[in-house]
Structure 1
Amino acid sequence: MAKLRNRESALRKLAAIPPAVRSAAKQALAQSADELTDAIRAAAPQGKTGKLKKSVAQTWGGGAVRYSALRGNVGQAGDPDLSVVISAGNSGVRYAHLVEFGTAPHINGGIFAGTEHHGTRAQPFFYPTWRRLRRRARSRISRAVTKAIKQL
């Protein structure tokens, strides 16, 4: 997450936003987060068990997802009420980044030391989906905020 300059000032300004506008922004953010989570889950490779698809989740409050290999932020980074993290991977699925980006051929270590791994091809599902839908999410939130401000 990027550092926010003058964080205290920005948080004061965010706190001064009228409740109706905050509510409209949160509803639009929730709709966008649901849409993005469903799209990422649909784009994830099925695999043998389907665990990767099931591991795609959203966490409100901007908190870090402990076992996530891939994560993207939606919403304002400075306000926990208007922040959601969408992630792929958890304690049982620690390979989401390997599926997304692939692996190069290499010599294994550990209990299979010395054996050769041929590598795997990348199967991007997380970031291409985010790039495809982020403009829609931003526009939806912007429209909701503008509409709520006009109704004040």
Structure 2
Amino acid sequence: MRAMPISARRALASATEKGADEIARMAETLAPEDTGDLVGSIAVTVGPKNTPAHSHPGGTRTVPEGAAAVTAGNGDVRYAHLVEFGTRKAPAQPFFWPAFRVLRKRSETRIKRAMTKAIKEEWNK
């Protein structure tokens, strides 16, 4: 990352954050709204920072520079994975991974376009 020009790093961060925001908004739309706590726990963490404790997928993680993570759950909402995948007594209500799967390609394309544009601009200086 440090070897990349600042303009390319900014383009990467901007495109990544925009894609993560779209995924988070769709996950919020798909999430069940019983109390609204689950919807309110869906967050975007832009690096370099840590994701919320007890978040799905994978708990607390350090998001590297130029990356973004979408998580559901936090210290108060520790059941996002149970809603997503269900339990023996409660059926699954997928919201997180469907949003990711629907918007993944779009986000990847946006990032590639932004990086290509930044590299071309840097090259032509």
**TM-score computed with the length of structure 2 as normaliser:** 0.86
Contact 1:63 1:85 in 2 (8 A): no
Q: Describe the superposition over 1:127-150 as per-residue Cα deviations: whole angstroms up to 9, x where unpaired.
A: 111011111111000000001111
Q: Which runs of 5+ in 2 are unaligned?
A: none
Alignment partner of 1:57 is 2:43: yes
1:41 and 2:25 aligned: no
RMSD between superposed Cα atoms in Å: 1.9
- The SS at the match of 2:65 is helix
Deviation at 1:40, TM superposition (A): 0.8
In the TM superposition, what are the counterparts of 1:1-152 in structure 2 within 5 Å?
14-47=1-34, 49-61=35-47, 63-70=50-57, 80-104=64-88, 119-152=89-122
Aligned positions, number: 119
* Larger RCO (alpha carbons 8 Å, 6+ apart): 2
Could you tell me the TM-score, scaled by structure 1's length? 0.72
- 8 A contact 1:70–1:96 mirrored in 2: no
Q: Distance in 2 between matches of 1:46 and 1:64?
A: 22
- Supply the distance in 1 between the matched residues of 2:46 and 2:63 (Cα, whole angstroms): 11
CA separation in 1, counterparts of 2:51 and 2:74? Answer: 12
Q: 1:38 is paired with a residue of what secondary structure? A: helix
Note the alpha carbon deviations across 1:14-44, whole angstroms, 9 max, x for none. 2111111111111111111111111111111
